[in-house]
């Protein structure tokens, strides 16, 4: 089994001949350069190509009964779309809408079915933040205002010695970071690729060398490295792997229908910033869990008010563009009060509390990101919301 050497947004993979329907990618190629055929196969079978840990399900399954089905039609750039044509045009492997706890839309594409998992990319960030909440509830993390170095002593003396756990969760550390997926010399492309210091997690080794750019808490700067650090904070605080803690707190008691997987770094630690794989309905159940305020198996597993605090805007994403919304604890906050977990290549969970609605989209976009792709997905989400009312 090949080990993912870094977050799958930047990882270098060994040749994946078993996945390739055309030519297998050369060893130096990143998952960012997979062909469409490789995406369709690889995204739903990451456990066959990457070292991972299993997030175990429990004995029961949270029910998602059928509700009144919707079939929205809508326009994108002047082109009329049905759900089917949207999925084909924008390479969606699954779309799901849950209204008042009932499934009102569920479709699959790209050869995927209800039992197939699909990689999350950065949707995993929102899961990591949620586990931080569970660790606060359990008393393992004393305060979000604790310095990161309290939980990762190796960060003492670095720029992160002045950064709090809360500032990690809001990506406001002020530490310099480059998240350019197209630049192989960017931080996101290099972090965690190799063990730099014996006995020190490679992400920690890389991150503690970064310089300060601005004072902590003053500016939002998207950083996958910081979500990886947050995952290490949680696992060190609770004394367990993230996958085990997730299983114990949410996956098993809430009633997810299948085991999930969580990709590891070269040191065997789950990447807090990337790459879980789960079924479409289990993506939806994560949204339902947040709508319910963090109750699993009849027990409150998040602090009172955590779900609301985590999903409010703590800082503007772009001060010059208020329409861009804000950022919570690894959740994107929209101006209308809805919030999203997002991953590159078209992965998202949208939660609309006022409408008791969860919308999931899984995709294999031709590019990691792009305004046109985001706008198309938002048009689909808007159409689902309108049809669900």
pLDDT by position in tens, the chain (length 389): 333 333 433 343 333 333 444 443 433 357 888 999 999 999 999 999 889 999 999 999 999 999 999 999 999 999 999 999 999 999 999 999 999 999 999 999 999 999 999 999 999 999 999 999 999 999 999 999 999 999 999 999 999 988 999 999 999 999 999 998 878 788 888 887 777 788 889 899 999 999 999 999 999 999 999 999 999 999 999 999 999 999 999 999 999 999 999 999 888 999 999 999 999 999 999 999 999 999 999 999 999 999 999 999 999 999 889 989 999 999 999 999 999 999 999 999 999 999 999 999 999 999 999 999 999 999 999 999 999 99
**Closest listed residue to residue 288, CA positions, set 255, 258, 259:** 255
Length of the chain: 389
Cβ atoms of 94 and 74 closer than 8 Å = no
Between CA 93 and CA 39 the distance in angstroms is 10
Alpha-carbon span 166 to 230, nearest angstrom: 10
Q: What is the pTM of this model?
A: 0.92
Contact 324, 317 (CB under 8 A): yes
What separation in angstroms does the CA of 16 have from each of 31, 35, 49, 235?
10, 11, 7, 31
| Helix (H/G/I), strand (E/B), else coil: 210 | coil
d(CA 27, CA 125): 27
Alpha-carbon distances of 56 from 206, 321, 348, rounded to whole Å: 31, 42, 22
Domain 31-66+92-388 bears CATH identifier 3.40.710.10: yes
Contact 272, 225 (CB under 8 A): no
Both tokens of 266, joined, read: 């070269």
The SS3 of residue 136 is helix
């Amino acid at each position: 089994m090949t080990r993912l050497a870094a977050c799958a947004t930047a990882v270098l993979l060994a040749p994946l001949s078993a996945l390739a329907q055309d030519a297998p990618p050369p060893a130096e190629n990143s998952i960012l350069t997979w062909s469409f055929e490789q995406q369709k196969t690889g995204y739903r079978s990451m456990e066959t190509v990457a070292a991972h840990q299993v997030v175990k399900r429990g004995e029961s399954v949270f029910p998602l009964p059928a509700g009144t089905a919707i079939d929205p039609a809508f326009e994108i750039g002047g082109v009329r779309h049905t759900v089917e044509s949207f999925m084909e045009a924008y390479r969606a492997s699954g779309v799901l809408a849950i209204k008042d706890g009932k499934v009102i839309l569920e479709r699959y594409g790209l050869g995927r079915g209800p039992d197939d998992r699909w990689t999350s990319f950065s949707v995993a960030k929102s899961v990591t933040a949620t586990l931080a909440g569970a660790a606060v509830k359990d008393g393992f993390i004393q305060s979000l205002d604790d310095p990161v170095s309290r939980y990762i002593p190796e960060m003492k003396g670095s720029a992160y010695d002045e950064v709090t756990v809360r500032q990690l969760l809001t990506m406001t550390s002020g530490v310099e970071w480059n998240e350019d997926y197209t630049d192989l010399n960017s931080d996101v492309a290099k972090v965690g690729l190799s063990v730099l210091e014996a006995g020190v997690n490679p992400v920690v080794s890389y991150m503690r060398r970064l310089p300060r750019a601005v004072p902590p808490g003053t500016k939002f700067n998207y950083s996958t490295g910081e979500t990886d650090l947050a995952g290490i904070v949680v696992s060190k605080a609770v004394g367990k792997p993230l996958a085990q803690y997730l299983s114990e707190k949410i996956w098993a008691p809430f009633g997810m229908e299948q085991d999930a997987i969580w990709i590891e770094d070269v040191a065997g630690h789950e990447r807090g910033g990337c790459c879980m794989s789960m079924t479409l309905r289990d993506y939806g159940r994560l949204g339902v869990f947040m709508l319910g305020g963090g109750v699993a198996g009849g027990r409150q597993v998040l602090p009172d008010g955590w779900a609301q605090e985590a999903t409010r805007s703590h800082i503007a994403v772009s001060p010059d563009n208020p329409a861009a919304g804000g950022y919570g604890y690894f959740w994107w906050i929209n101006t209308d009060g809805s919030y999203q977990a997002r991953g590159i290549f078209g992965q998202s969970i949208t939660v609309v509390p006022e409408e008791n609605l969860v919308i999931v989209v899984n995709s294999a976009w031709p590019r990691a990101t792009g305004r046109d792709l985001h706008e198309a997905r938002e048009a689909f989400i808007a159409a689902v919301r309108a049809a669900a009312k």
